[in-house]
Structure 1
Amino acid sequence: MTTQYVPSSAEVVAFYDNALPLIANLAGDNVHYGYWHSREDTSTLHEAMDNLTDVMIERLGVTAGRRVLDVGCGLGAPAQRLARARGVEVVGISTSPAMVREATARARAAGLGGQVRFEVADAEHLPFEDASFDAAWAIESLVHMADRPRVFREIGRVLRPGGRLALTDFYERIPFTGERLTMIEEYRRAALNTPFHRLEEYPPMLRDAGLHLIEYLDISEQTDRHYPMLLERLRAHRDELTAAYGAETVAALDSVFTNCARTGEPHYMLMTAYRS
């Protein structure tokens, strides 16, 4: 596990409260990796992000009328897509008031205000009753949470028996040393990511939360086009982003995205678990 920089929750909130121009220019509606089904897959970056959402929807296996918790909802696009696809109720949470306001406005504009809602909440202290959700997902949101065991315990607490959790996370596949460690630490500082865990650390964390691993997939190969495409968009929108965030910040992002595209780091995985 990487052990150096750990962002505070206040830093993460401040980042996302001010990140809307960045997200709009680079990622559009989604705040997670793109997924390409094969080397022949010609999906655009935005289509690939929806592909990942669809892969996660399949993993949840929920049916109409069920209630799903979206841990780290971003701008709410995955929650909307899930609600439409499966006819479920979705409750999304974020620590960023700005993101919750924007996600709420977008859901209402899409006519989903009665089916999808968002609120400001901390995943380490979920404001929900025990066994009040049929499923939960965390799409690339654990990366900002320093205490994953506590988050898993909270998710396990609010899931009903048999309920599923689907998640994606960055992880340490090969021990970080030397230049790779330096590059990962630069990445984590730029993206406000908490330390990455090794794969073998996840099953005990899940079991302690009453969650049991069903499936683990390394999807690094399916997502490795994300940073090259993101880098293209960063450079295409450099002037707008520089006006919003400053030349130093944009240069730092360019350097980090370049390193990610060159090295294939960080590695990316998908896990599915169920509540006993």
Structure 2
Amino acid sequence: MAENKTQLEEQDRTRDAAFNKALHGDSAFVQGGIRALISKGGEAQKAAVDEYFKHWDNKAAKDETAETRKQRTAEYATLTRQYYNLATDLYEYGWGQSFHFCRYSYGETFNEAIVRHEHYLAHQIGIHSGMKVLDVGCGVGGPARQIAKFTGCHITGLNNNDYQIQRAAAYAKKEGLCHKLSFVKGDFMQMDFPENSFDAIYAIEATVHAPELSGVYSEIFRVLKPGGIFGVYEWLMTDEYDNDNLRHREIRLGIELGDGISNIVKISDGLEAMKVAGFELLHHEDLAERPDPIPWFWPLAGEWKYLQSIFDIPRIARMTWWGRGFGHRLGGLMEMLHLAPPGTRKTADSLATALDNLVAGAKEHLFTPMYLMVGRKPALTKSSS
């Protein structure tokens, strides 16, 4: 039985690697999101678009049922992988190499705020030099590079997308961090690591892609050493969210559509999942509710009054309604001229839908992308060791 499972897993990896090659070619090693985007394989891109959007096309919020959500969660791994096949280059172009939100303070640039958010999580967990750390859902490795430089630890990045792993490894090599970073392919619902493998574990806005939080948190608990700390910035609907309220459901579904998520749950569900997994909850807090002078969503809303650096102008301009309109028309034109792969505009439109609903969810206190939970795996007692 175990041998058959291993063979199936190897077949899946071979299939994914072949698809990655057909879609991305050598674009993982190209500098810049747009440069990488325009060199995709057209047929593979169309297959990725069809596979991803089958979960969303012609499925309005008013028609959503428990069964349609169940169908999405059943295919979470493929859904997430294809989403990042489509969106990674656009993320890098529009946002950067750290695929997450953050809090802002007066006097800091966008990139400084992003890095501070990463350092804060490392501080909350107590990561330090010599530790063996796991980054669950590492993206293209932006946070891992920063935390490794900040703390001196060694980080293993886990990811189910071959393209992102290639880009993460290329960036680590460029920055001379190969001795501090490694990146592996895997499903965070069934990790290949042995029990008690890591001194500390973190996840930054990644475990929201899990079909159920208790499942991924339980796997994290398993591979974390006794006494080790797990810290997560989780995407959650607040407990004000009412799924029977159509407006609320439209916001959630818009976020899920544009961010490759099968099922966002509420804060109370997230806290319960940590307890079910076995963690001793040390701290939990919605950082989005801190009385910061600058809201976390201001770049998405294009609110220029919060701009603090001229170097952030291009990034914020892309988020405004006219910036997005120009970008989408340009993407459509490039697609028509076969300079960009098919589905580029459709993917960009879905990201714009998510952007609008993220802002709406924040302003209506229905959604947070930074619910901080810090948990400890109980240490072994002498009687149980």
Q: Which TM-score applies when normalising by structure 2?
A: 0.65
User: Structure 1 CA distance, aligned partners of 2:209 and 2:344?
Assistant: 23
**Aligned counterpart, 1:224:** 297
| 8 Å Cα contact 1:34-1:46 kept in structure 2 | no
Q: Select 2:219's aligned residue among 154, 164, 184.
A: 154
**Aligned counterpart, 1:256:** 354
What aligned pairs does 1:38-57 form with structure 2 within 5 A after superposition?
Answer: 41-57=106-122
Answer with 121-130 or 180-189: which moved more.
Answer: 180-189
* Superposed displacement of residue 16, structure 1: 1.2
**Aligned counterpart, 1:186:** 254
Query: After superposition, what is the alpha-carbon deviation per residue over 1:141-173, rounded to whole angstroms, capped at 9, x for unaligned?
Result: 011111221111111111111111110112121
Q: Could you tell me which amino acid in structure 2 is paired with residue 86 of structure 1? A: T
| 8 Å Cα contact 1:135-1:159 kept in structure 2 | yes
User: Structure 2 CA distance, aligned partners of 1:246 and 1:109?
Assistant: 28
Alignment of 1:128 with 2:161, yes or no, is: no
User: Structure 1 CA distance, aligned partners of 2:284 and 2:101?
Assistant: 17
* Superposed displacement of residue 231, structure 1: 6.9
CA RMSD of aligned residues (A): 2.2
Alignment of 1:93 with 2:158, yes or no, is: yes
| 8 Å Cα contact 1:92-1:119 kept in structure 2 | yes
Query: After superposition, what is the alpha-carbon deviation per residue over 1:213-245, rounded to whole angstroms, capped at 9, x for unaligned?
Result: 111111224523242247742426445654444
What aligned pairs does 1:61-210 form with structure 2 within 5 A after superposition?
Answer: 61-173=126-238, 174-176=240-242, 177-210=245-278
Q: Which has the higher strand share?
A: 1
* Superposed displacement of residue 137, structure 1: 0.4
Gapped regions of structure 1 (runs ≥ 5):
none
| 8 Å Cα contact 2:83-2:259 kept in structure 1 | no
Structure 1 residues 257 and 150: alpha-carbon distance in aligned structure 2, compared to 1, 3 A threshold = same
User: Structure 2 CA distance, aligned partners of 1:48 and 1:241?
Assistant: 29
Answer with 19-28 or 163-172: which moved more.
Answer: 19-28
**Aligned counterpart, 1:17:** 85
Answer with 194-203 or 167-176: which moved more.
Answer: 194-203
Q: Could you tell me which amino acid in structure 2 is paired with residue 35 of structure 1? A: R
User: Structure 1 CA distance, aligned partners of 2:138 and 2:298?
Assistant: 23
| 8 Å Cα contact 1:203-1:212 kept in structure 2 | no
Structure 1 residues 70 and 240: alpha-carbon distance in aligned structure 2, compared to 1, 3 A threshold = farther
Alignment of 1:273 with 2:339, yes or no, is: no
* Superposed displacement of residue 179, structure 1: 1.1
Could you list the structure 1 runs, at least 4 aligned residues long, displaced by more than 4 angstroms after superposition: 239-242
Q: Secondary structure at the match of 1:152?
A: helix
| 8 Å Cα contact 1:22-1:241 kept in structure 2 | no
Query: After superposition, what is the alpha-carbon deviation per residue over 1:169-226, rounded to whole angstroms, capped at 9, x for unaligned?
Result: 1212112322121121122112111322222223332233221111111122452324
Q: Could you tell me which amino acid in structure 1 is paired with residue 367 of structure 2? A: P
**Aligned counterpart, 2:318:** 233
| 8 Å Cα contact 2:125-2:229 kept in structure 1 | yes
Structure 1 residues 51 and 233: alpha-carbon distance in aligned structure 2, compared to 1, 3 A threshold = farther
User: Structure 2 CA distance, aligned partners of 1:266 and 1:22?
Assistant: 23
User: Structure 1 CA distance, aligned partners of 2:256 and 2:107?
Assistant: 29
**Number of equivalenced pairs:** 272
Answer with 208-217 or 237-246: which moved more.
Answer: 237-246
Q: Secondary structure at the match of 1:125?
A: coil
| 8 Å Cα contact 1:33-1:226 kept in structure 2 | no
Q: Secondary structure at the match of 1:223?
A: coil
Q: Which TM-score applies when normalising by structure 1?
A: 0.89
| 8 Å Cα contact 1:136-1:159 kept in structure 2 | yes
**Aligned counterpart, 2:26:** none
Q: Which has the higher helix share?
A: 2
